Chain A
């Protein structure tokens, strides 16, 4: 049995964070300063930098501010940005979480806003510190997986090991989310064959077709220079490696950022915007994908890296699984799991088991390497999505 934190809206979190959310880049410095003295006590900076309204960003911020790992929220507004802070504040209040808004232009400027904010955050982290953990079942967990800084080892060691852990967690009732349809290009047909219904199979294939079109318009694949240095040559090769993270279970549905999986089992998260190409890359970097999975309710994220990503996340703790033994030796402090041992004779199932055990202990409070190192990355940019259709979540 795991131990989590109960929220008034019925959710259970594995962390008790206080989110300090800036609602435009202009308010970010104040948010950062407010968090500074409390960063080791669970205060986290999140936010949206844009001054123009965006429905996706609004939804994402609502989901993130009411994420199971978040216990209280401070909103930091400059005052003249377009973000609807009233709607956001109401959504947080309705979830039963303590919330306060600071408007810098009305509070007397930077210094006074920081003082006000630190008072609220100080009270909230104090209250969080005395909260008791409650029993939580594996079936109450939502887990995301992402790979970044992939190389020729990712698809052989770390990704299939995560796939095994996903199979087990999903079988025990946890909701497991894999994503990045731009990195499923080339495996759309074999993936679609795992759909729970023929209609869902069509949706899964279409999501990859959409991604391929989107990237073709942009002129780049979801492929960084370091991927090639690490031995990956084409997007379809990278895709096959990335696809291994999904394990072998039946695919229960297709969701979009902000949609919560309705049950346990395996779900594909479509992160590529709908409609014509707008606002740039679908995955501006790995952190954007982790944030999107968090907005789907992911309590934690399994991050497979070959080249050596070091990131964490402000909402959803990141377990770093290093696929490449040379990278592990180089960056051991940043890595939770050394999956590169598979190349030296350790079995895939042994590493899969280690990942599973790590999920359980991190869920009950154990700090990940990125948490210990103070990593708390967060990024949210503009996107447009249509709601999912009925075929995406078969009963």
Chain B
């Protein structure tokens, strides 16, 4: 049986994160080339999940380039966002009420 259509996008083969192509519920999600990731919590369209484990202090790679440093260890399938990724340039300003990007889907 073939895998379902991918709902995770890999922008560059060097990337440590996938991008959600739709709202994804907790559980199995599918990247290209048969990659299967156990997504730890629901994420909405456009958000990132770890492709493989990322250690605290490691650069997080998207589009094949660094988009900042991990502020804690991140497990494969975990939502990668403001709670565990920080800019190496300027801090990100947030409204705590809306920053999560996690829905009930």
Contact = CB atoms under 8 A, between A and B. Distances in A.
Interface of A: 151-153, 155-156, 185-187, 190, 212, 215-216, 219-221, 223-226, 228-237, 240-241, 306, 324-326, 343
Interface residue SS majority, chain B: loop
B92 A228 contact: yes
Interface in B80-105: 80-82, 85-95, 98-101
A152 B67 CA distance: 13
A229 B52 CA distance: 23
Interface string B41-60: 00111111000000000000
B19 interface: yes
Interface string B22-50: 10000000000000000000011111100
A326 B81 CA distance: 21
A224 B91 CA distance: 12
Interface residues of B, number: 36
A345 to B, nearest CB: 9
A186 B89 contact: yes
Given A225-B98, A225-B99, A231 B44 contact: yes
A240 B62 contact: yes
Given A226-B98, A228-B99, A233 B68 contact: yes
Given A216-B89, A221-B92, 12 more contacts: A152-B46, A223-B90, A225-B99, A231-B20, A231-B44, A231-B45, A233-B82, A233-B85, A235-B90, A240-B65, A326-B45, A343-B21
Interface of B: 9, 11, 19-22, 43-48, 62-63, 65-68, 80-82, 85-95, 98-101
Contact of A152 (B45, B87, B89, B99): B45
A186 B81 contact: no
